[in-house]
Structure 1
Amino acid sequence: MSSNIVPLRLRPHLVSFLMKEMKGVGKSFAGYKCKVLNVPAYSFIGSFLLEHLEKIDYPVKNIETFNIFLDVAATSRKRYVSKGNFYKIESLGKSFVYLPEEFVETINNIFEQQFRNSFFNFVDARVENNAPVTQAILSFIDKYDLFEANVTQIQLRQLYYRMKEEGLCFSLQNKLRRQ
C-alpha cells in the first residue's frame, strides 16, 4: 500500500507529546530528513486527513516551517462531486498532498484535546496515589519534554484544576479554551 506524507504545523507542546506517544520512522521528504509518524487510513485522524487533504502537483515549499509529518497509508478515497450520490474515486497513491489552512486549527484542537485528557488522567492518577499535584505535573512535563516547548508548571496546574472542576468532556460541549 502506498502512502502520503502530510506536513503539518502543530503547537510545539503537541509535537513533543505526539513524538513520545506515536510510532514513527525516519524518512526523507522533499530532500528534508524527518521523523514521520504513521497514521492508518482507518483511524480517526487518518480518515479526517483523507477527507480534507488536497492534491498538488509539486512538494510543499518551505518544508522547514513544518514541525511534524504524518504518513497516511492510502491508495484512494471517495470524493463526492455533487450533493447527490455521485462520487469519484481519487487516487492519492503517487500524489503530493497538503492540508488546507482552514483545517490546520481543527487538527491542532483534536490533538490538543488528546493532550489535555492524557495530562489530566496522568496527574489525577498520581494524585490519587498520594503524590503532590506539583510533583505529578512536573513528572508529566519531564516525561514529554514540555519545558522545551515553553510549557510551565503554572499553566498546567491551572489546566488541571479547571478540568477537575468542569470535567473531562467539558470541551466537547464548549469551545476549547486556549491558555
Structure 2
Amino acid sequence: MKKLKKLALLKIKEEAQRLSAKFLRNELPNLEENLSELLKDKTSQQKKVIYQSIVDVFLKNIVLPKYEYQFDDAKKALEGLKKIFTKVPEISKLCQQIEALLKEYLTHKEVIYNELLKRFNAGVSALEKALSDQLGAEVKVNVEEHPQFKEEWNKIKEKLDEEYGKQLEYFKNLFRKIVS
C-alpha cells in the first residue's frame, strides 16, 4: 500500500513538473486554470507535492543570466510564481527583488566588461603601432582574444557570479521558506 501511495505522489509530481514546463515554453495559456484542475480532488499532501514541484521547476529556471534569453526565461518563471501565489503579497515583492537583482547583474557585468575592454584597448593600441612600424604593415590585435584579457575577465566574472549568486540563493531560500 505504501508503495502505491509513493507511486501516486511521484505521478502527481511529474504532472506538476510538466505543467510548469509547458508554462515556461508558452504552451499553456492559463496556468491558474490548469493548476486548479490539477489540484481538484487532491489530498493536502498531494497538493503540497504539486506546489513544491512547480516551485522547484520555476526556481531552477531562475539563474544568473549569461545571455539575454536566460533573463527572459527567469522572468517567465517569476511570472509563473506570481500567478500561482497571487494571494501572498510577499511573493510578488520577492519576485520583483529577484528580477531587479538579475537586471542589475546583467548591467553590472556589461559595464565591467566594457571598462576592461577599454583599458586593454588603450594598452594594445601602442603595441599595434609598434608592430605595424616594425613589420611595415598594419597589425590589428583583437583584445577579446588576448589570453591576459580572458584571464582577467574570468577572474572578475567569477567574483561577480559569486557575489550575485549568493544574493540569488538567499532570495530563493527566502522564497522556499515563505511557500513551505
TM-score by length of 1: 0.25
Whichever of the two has the greater Rg, that structure is: 2
TM-score by length of 2: 0.25
Kindly indicate which of the two structures has a greater share of residues assigned to strand: 1
Bigger RCO (CA 8 Å, 6+ sep):
1
